[in-house]
């Protein structure tokens, strides 16, 4: 059960990036759009976001941090909220059907029409392994139920991460990966009733002795899927490069090498990969974003031709460590990238160039657009930015 609601005003000092520009004659320009926090119920920490019209679904959990053994604590519980604007309007009734679902963090949430899907994650067992649970429900019911699966559907010694759920031509699909003798390979699962089954892995998504793939994010454009990640070349020295894959339930998968500017110098210890992708509801072009050689990049990916545009190099130095990420969403038809740089910024792609905006406080781990707002998760908190304009 969710804790008490926090009823409090948001202090002006919490606004991110709110400044007023003086104009000649003493007048002032309107302040730039600012990120403001969405006040969540007491104890809820956000992990995932999904847009549904003007509303936003926020998935996450309540409870304490992981115990010293790495196990999910017994006081954890999944949470799924509905947000409109900057306010939580209601919570879903969650109905876990097994012990790991009872303590799951809803790390992926998606909405397709009236259907709601979620993937939960808890850590447990003798070896403190991730335990994945799958959930579904309907918006009108405001209820989400976990559906127990046979253990090896998503688990086992060769289990890999699940990226999320979507619906392709009326078929519910989970996108993820498993581990083979030569590394990760991409996998699609489909559902019959409440039972999920792994489909035959596409050969184009399988690592080989001379190159190893990873899969980090995906988006759907009509009936095609776009998956982003990296390719690690193993022949003649290690060479990591950002890639995308375009395909669907009917196969036809093609790898898309995302171009890297030739003058981009290599930075020791920095990963090179595409960490996010976003697609519009219709059209032919998606946007991918990531970090390569210590720089944040963005690319267009044209789906019908499985081709990528030239890279856009975005400002910012990499954060401490090597696990830099960039997230992208489509806001009013334009790409908006949060770079998670050492000094984080938001970058809005406009017809006349890219505009720099403020970023929420802390590294951003989820990003989407719902209604007239852009929403981000940073440090378990949800932040909202009015959809920015290029004008």
Q: Does residue 373 belong to any structural domain of this protein?
A: no
pLDDT at 3 over 90: no
SS3 state at 25: helix
pLDDT at 19 over 50: no
Q: Is 331 exposed, middle or buried, given 0-12, 13-18 or 19+ CB atoms closer than 10 A?
A: buried
Q: Does residue 144 belong to any structural domain of this protein?
A: yes
Q: What is the pLDDT of residue 202?
A: 95
Contact 41, 92 (CB under 8 A): no
Asked whether residue 83 falls in the same domain as residue 207, the answer is: no
The tokens for 28 are 């002032």
Cα–Cα distance measured from residue 295 to residue 260, given in angstroms and rounded to the nearest whole number: 10
Q: What is the pLDDT of residue 12?
A: 32
Q: Does residue 385 belong to any structural domain of this protein?
A: no
Q: What is the pLDDT of residue 33?
A: 78
Choose among 207, 117, 192: nearest CA to 162. 117
Asked whether residue 319 falls in the same domain as residue 208, the answer is: yes
Contact 365, 378 (CB under 8 A): yes
Average pLDDT of span 93-113: 96
Cα–Cα distance measured from residue 128 to residue 69, given in angstroms and rounded to the nearest whole number: 8
Last residue of a domain, one of 121, 148, 175: 148
Confidence category of residue 127, pLDDT binned at 50, 70, 90 = low
Average pLDDT of span 184-188: 96
* H or E element, residue 373: strand 373-378
- In residues, how long is the chain? 391
Cα–Cα distance measured from residue 334 to residue 311, given in angstroms and rounded to the nearest whole number: 16
SS3 state at 204: helix
Q: What is the pLDDT of residue 236?
A: 78
Q: Does residue 312 belong to any structural domain of this protein?
A: yes
pLDDT at 4 over 70: no
Asked whether residue 204 falls in the same domain as residue 338, the answer is: yes
Q: Does residue 365 belong to any structural domain of this protein?
A: no
pLDDT at 391 over 90: no
Asked whether residue 57 falls in the same domain as residue 178, the answer is: no
The tokens for 257 are 């090498």
Last residue of a domain, one of 114, 148, 182: 148
Asked whether residue 10 falls in the same domain as residue 101, the answer is: yes
Which tens digits make up the pLDDT trace of 269-298?
Answer: 788 999 999 999 999 999 999 999 999 999
Q: What is the pLDDT of residue 270?
A: 85
Residue 206 is part of which domain span?
157-359
pLDDT at 147 over 60: yes
Q: What is the pLDDT of residue 69?
A: 52
Contact 181, 192 (CB under 8 A): no
pLDDT at 157 over 90: no
Cα–Cα distance measured from residue 330 to residue 328, given in angstroms and rounded to the nearest whole number: 7
Q: What is the pLDDT of residue 21?
A: 38
pLDDT at 36 over 90: yes
Q: Does residue 390 belong to any structural domain of this protein?
A: no
What ranges make up the beta strands (E) of 53-182? 55-62, 77-84, 87-91, 93-95, 105-112, 115-124, 129-138, 143-146, 159-168, 171-180
Cα–Cα distance measured from residue 172 to residue 134, given in angstroms and rounded to the nearest whole number: 12
Cα–Cα distance measured from residue 109 to residue 166, given in angstroms and rounded to the nearest whole number: 10
Which tens digits make up the pLDDT trace of 235-260?
Answer: 877 889 999 999 999 999 999 999 99
Q: What is the pLDDT of residue 362?
A: 85
Contact 119, 132 (CB under 8 A): yes
The torsion angles phi and psi of 205, rounded to 5 degrees, stand at -105, 15
Cα–Cα distances in Å, from 182 out to 169, 207, 228, 234?
32, 6, 19, 11
CATH of the domain at 318: 2.120.10.10
> Cβ neighbours of residue 86 under 8 Å, at least 6 residues apart?
36, 37, 38, 39, 384
Which tens digits make up the pLDDT trace of 56-89?
Answer: 999 999 986 654 456 677 788 999 999 999 999 9
Asked whether residue 57 falls in the same domain as residue 169, the answer is: no
Q: Does residue 310 belong to any structural domain of this protein?
A: yes
Asked whether residue 63 falls in the same domain as residue 193, the answer is: no
SS3 state at 168: strand
Which tens digits make up the pLDDT trace of 314-357?
Answer: 999 988 876 789 999 999 999 999 999 999 999 999 999 999 99
Asked whether residue 84 falls in the same domain as residue 195, the answer is: no
Give the distance, in angstroms, between the CA of residue 275 and the centroid of all CA atoms in the same chain: 9
Asked whether residue 352 falls in the same domain as residue 203, the answer is: yes
Contact 97, 147 (CB under 8 A): yes
Q: Does residue 22 belong to any structural domain of this protein?
A: yes
Asked whether residue 186 falls in the same domain as residue 295, the answer is: yes
Asked whether residue 217 falls in the same domain as residue 329, the answer is: yes
Q: Domain tally for the chain?
A: 2
Last residue of a domain, one of 148, 165, 191: 148
Q: What is the pLDDT of residue 67?
A: 44
Asked whether residue 222 falls in the same domain as residue 270, the answer is: yes
Q: What is the pLDDT of residue 40?
A: 96
Average pLDDT of span 161-174: 97
Confidence category of residue 115, pLDDT binned at 50, 70, 90 = very high
């Amino acid at each position: 059960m969710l804790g008490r609601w926090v009823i409090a005003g948001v202090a002006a000092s919490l606004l991110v990036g709110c400044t007023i520009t003086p104009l000649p004659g003493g007048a002032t320009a309107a302040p730039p759009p600012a990120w403001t926090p969405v006040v969540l119920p007491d104890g809820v920490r956000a992990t995932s976001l999904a847009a549904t019209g003007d509303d936003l679904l926020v998935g996450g959990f309540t409870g304490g941090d992981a115990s010293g053994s790495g196990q999910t604590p017994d006081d954890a519980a999944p949470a799924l909220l509905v947000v409109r604007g900057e306010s939580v309007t209601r919570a879903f009734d969650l109905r876990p059907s097994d012990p790991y679902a009872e303590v799951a963090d809803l790390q992926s949430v998606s909405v397709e029409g009236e259907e709601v899907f979620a993937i939960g994650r808890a850590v447990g067992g003798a070896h403190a392994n991730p335990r994945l649970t799958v959930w579904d429900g309907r918006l009108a019911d405001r209820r989400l139920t976990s559906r127990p699966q046979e253990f090896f559907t998503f688990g086992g010694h060769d289990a890999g991460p699940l990226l999320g759920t979507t619906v392709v031509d009326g078929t519910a699909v989970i996108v993820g990966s498993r581990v083979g003798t030569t590394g990760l390979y991409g996998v699609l699962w489909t559902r019959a009733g409440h039972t999920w089954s792994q489909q035959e892995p596409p050969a184009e998504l399988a690592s080989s002795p001379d190159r190893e793939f990873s899969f980090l994010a995906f988006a759907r454009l009509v009936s095609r899927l776009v998956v982003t990640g990296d390719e690690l070349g193993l022949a003649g020295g290690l060479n990591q490069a950002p890639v995308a894959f375009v395909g669907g339930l009917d196969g036809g998968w093609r790898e898309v090498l995302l171009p890297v500017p030739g003058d981009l110098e290599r930075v020791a210890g920095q990963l090179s990969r595409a960490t996010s992708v976003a697609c519009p509801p219709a059209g032919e072009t998606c946007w991918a974003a990531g970090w390569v050689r210590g720089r944040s990049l963005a690319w267009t990916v044209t789906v019908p031709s499985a081709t990528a545009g030239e890279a856009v190099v975005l400002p910012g130095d990499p954060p401490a460590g090597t696990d830099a990420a960039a997230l992208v969403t489509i806001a009013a038809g334009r790409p908006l990238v949060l770079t998670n740089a050492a000094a984080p910024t938001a970058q809005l792609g406009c017809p006349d160039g890219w505009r720099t905006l403020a970023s929420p406080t802390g590294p951003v781990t989820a990003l989407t657009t719902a209604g007239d707002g852009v929403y981000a998760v940073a440090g378990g908190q949800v932040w909202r930015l009015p959809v920015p304009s290029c004008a």
